[in-house]
Amino acid sequence: MADEDAEIVALIDNELDKDATARLLTRLATDEALRKRYEALREARAPIAGAFDALIEKAPLSRLRAALPPESAPPAALRPFARTAFRDIAAGVVGFLLGAGAAAFVALSVAPSGGQRDWRSAVEEYVNLYTKESFSPLHPDAALQVIELSAVGARVGAKLTPEAVALPGLRFTVAFMLAYKGKPLAAIALVDAQGEPVMLCIIDNHAPDAPLRSERRGELSLANWSRGGRGYLVIGRMPEDEAVELAGMLKERI
């Protein structure tokens, strides 16, 4: 399984050659166990790949330290190194990230400690961490796009295809799973020509139907609606009317 995992990870990172990619995609299309393994590895890697650098800069250090087991704390004799850069400290947190699950870390480590919040607020918190470098390096081919969208769509009960999520001026980069209060939350990341991320998020939360509405939160515009027991959200650094226009297109297709 180790060699197989290595090959899957290489596919996720776009490091397989053309022939190896074709062989593995063929297997993924027919081997359910292998596909589940692919999804698990994808979920574990995608949030870190997209957000880890930003989390290093903005993650709540005190809460991360508190989450580490006591034996991981530096001994008193090492206190003179307290001024070490957070990037060095983060190396000691990696075990915690992998053990707890990357998706849970992204969702929980940026969550506010109090106050009213809903799933849109949780999405807003992590989208604020993404930069132009978070997703723009990813260039999945058509076959991989189908696999990713089909996998996350199945988790939230939505039929997702590259054509359904296509938006003018934006390029699909990755689809991965998160969760909010135990409810599956699909995240689809697209980028504009400058690499600026625009997210389509879908949560299976049994919400009542609600019309399209929009709001502005800091640098982010949000446009959301509910239908068929699912909540939908388009969010990104763009004018609010643009977010509404994109959401309107998606609302007609998914």
30-84 residue pLDDT tens: 777 887 788 777 766 655 555 545 544 555 555 555 555 555 444 444 333 333 3
Q: What is the pLDDT of residue 69?
A: 55
> Which sign, positive or negative, has the C-alpha torsion 212, 206, 230, 97?
positive
Domain ranges of the chain: 2-251
Q: Is residue 110's pLDDT more than 70?
A: no
d(CA 195, CA 197): 6
Per-residue pLDDT band at 129 (split at 50, 70, 90)? very high
Q: What is the pLDDT of residue 47?
A: 53
| Stretch 204-221: mean pLDDT | 96
**2-251 is classed in which CATH architecture?**
2-Layer Sandwich (3.30)
d(CA 200, CA 211): 17
Q: Is residue 159's pLDDT more than 70?
A: yes
User: Measured in Å, how far apart are the chain's first and last C-alpha atoms?
Assistant: 36
Cα torsion at 45, 49, 54, 59 (round to 10°)? 10
| Stretch 174-202: mean pLDDT | 96
Q: Is residue 113's pLDDT more than 80?
A: no
| Stretch 160-178: mean pLDDT | 97
The angle formed by the CA atoms of residues 73, 87 and 193, to the nearest 5 degrees, is: 145
